[in-house]
Amino acid sequence: MYLTRRVCVFGLSALSLSACMGGGVGMSTRPAAQMRPQPNPAFDAWKTRFRSRAVAAGIRPEVLDPALRGAGFLPDVVARDRRQAEFTRTFEDYITAIAVTDERLAAGRAAMARHAGTLRAIEARYGVDAATVTAIWGLESRYGAERGDVPVISALATLAFDGRRGAFFESQLLAALRIVQRGDTTAANMRGSWAGAMGHTQFIPTTYQDYAVDFTGNGRRDIWADDPSDALASAANYLARMGWQQGQAWGLEVRLPEGFNTGLAGRGTTRSASQWAAMGVARMGGGALADHGPASVILPDGPRGPAFVVYRNFSVILRYNNSEFYAIGVGHLADRLRGGGPIRGNFQPDRHGLRLADRAEMQRLLTRAGFDTQGVDGVIGPNSQTAIEAYQRARGLQVTGQPSTALLEQLRRGA
Ligand SMILES: [Ca+2]
């Protein structure tokens, strides 16, 4: 969940700082790194100092001491925190290969049907519709399938000790201990992403403290349970408190008029729907531009890519994760879950001039030629770069490890 911008350019799992490299939604989900604790005397000394700060902050020793005893130093968490995004994803990649894949859509329809009664009750109480709540759930944890299995107290203690964002993670650790102290769950049961985002909707501890709800009425706000009711209601409560407008759209795909002044694009410029319509901004597929208050035109894939008019609810989704890709992903997944169609604007190629399908084809051809890319997903990561380098070397080409249209052409010729 939100709070800290991730280093990667395509956002995902909001609250989770995890997004980029596994955890939450996203990149091909490699098996999680071995989250094994390692002896570390400096970490133990830090725990002793932290203990007095925690006691001063009101954590009772009978809660604190066992939790700290069980907290280990997790080097892999530090490695994840330091890792920069190794490659960027285009808007097309994000929407079609990550956020709204056929698989995520099918699983979403099934999840929405399975939990229809709960989702109806949540909408009745919080005013956030089933498709939107389900879309958040789908992006945050693949409908509960990827809630994260890292011990959160250990992860947060490691990050607080490591110090790169020490104050932030120490405040998260204190919030996590307060959750245990309140009895919502135990320290051992508190599992999540490497950055401390927990449960079906990946709440970080401070967000949990302020917005989690006990929807089942059993006295515990249990976002970790297999039963997603509390977690989904908590996400709806969060959106409601951020100003969700019931019955209003997040946004709509639009067609821009010839010669549209792209200087007017961006969330900094708002007009009413009728003002945009008067300027020639038309709903993709026809029909009126709905009037849901102040609206902006956004161009997430540049001036030639798909265009959207976005409303107040778009800003509310951004409070979950401050990434336009993410918010469009949630909104579009929700639209598709309601039966809407795919985005119709023209996705733009990447900086190498390649679309997602081109990159996948390149991987297929490289692998067939004996340069195994370890999978065909359209993502040119380290494995694909290594394969490209080997191919270039074998063919006497300049070795760049980079994809290009020329390389794709050559592969297509079977050279
Ligand atoms: Ca409960």
Considering the domain boundaries, does residue 171 fall inside one?
Answer: no
Judge contact between 381 and 344, C-beta under 8 A.
no
Residue 335 Cα to ligand 1 midpoint, Å, equals: 29
The tens-digit pLDDT sequence of the chain (415 residues) is 544 333 333 333 333 333 333 333 333 334 455 689 999 999 999 999 999 999 999 999 999 999 999 999 999 999 988 875 555 789 999 999 999 999 999 999 999 999 999 999 999 999 999 999 999 999 999 999 999 999 999 999 999 999 889 999 999 999 999 999 999 999 999 999 999 999 999 999 999 999 999 999 999 999 999 999 999 999 999 999 999 999 999 999 999 999 999 999 999 999 999 999 999 999 999 989 999 999 999 999 999 999 999 999 999 999 999 999 999 999 999 999 999 999 999 999 999 999 999 999 999 999 999 999 999 989 888 999 999 999 999 999 999 999 999 999 999 998 7
Break the chain down into helix, strand, coil percent, rounded to 5. 45, 5, 45
Q: Specify the CATH number for the domain of residue 279.
A: 1.10.530.10
Q: Which residues pair with 38 in a beta bridge?
A: 73
| Last-in-domain residue among 310, 337, 364 | 337
Ligand 1 centroid to Cα of residue 243, in Å, is 24
Query: Is the residue at 243 inside a domain?
Result: no
Q: Are 366 and 411 in contact (CB under 8 A)?
A: yes
Residue 371 placed within a domain? yes
The pairing of strands 282-283 and 296-298 is unpaired
Instruction: Write the DSSP symbol of residue 264.
Output: G
| 331 & 361 share domain | no
Final residue belonging to a domain, choices 309, 337, 365: 337
- Ligand 1 center from residue 349 Cα (angstroms): 46
- Look up residue 253 and give its DSSP letter: E
386 located within any domain: yes
Tell me, yes or no, whether 326 and 372 share the same domain: no
Q: How far apart are CA 388 and CA 362, in angstroms?
A: 9
Residue 283 lies in a domain: yes
218 Cα: distance to centroid of ligand 1 (angstroms): 5
The reply to whether 315 and 286 lie within a common domain is yes
Distance 215 CA to ligand 1 centre (A): 6
Residue 332 lies in a domain: yes
Q: 361 and 313 in one domain?
A: no
Domain range enclosing 284: 251-337
Q: Ligand 1 centroid to 197 CA: how many Å? A: 18
**Residue 69 CA to chain centroid, in angstroms?**
32
The Å distance, Cα 228 to ligand 1 centre, comes to 10
> How many CB atoms neighbour CB 324 within 10 A?
22
Ligand 1 midpoint to CA 63 (Å): 21
Alpha carbon of 298 to those of 36, 63, 408: distances in Å?
44, 48, 32
DSSP state of 20: G
| Residue 347 covered by a domain | no
Q: DSSP string of 87-143?
A: S---HHIIIIIIIT-HHHHHHHHHHHHHTHHHHHHHHHHH---HHHHHHHHHHHHTT
CA of 229 to the centre of ligand 1 (A): 8
Q: Do 330 and 364 belong together in one domain?
A: no
pTM, entire model: 0.89
Indicate the number of domains in the chain.
2
Per the domain annotation, does 327 fall within a domain? yes
Q: How far is the CA of 212 from the centre of ligand 1 (A)?
A: 10
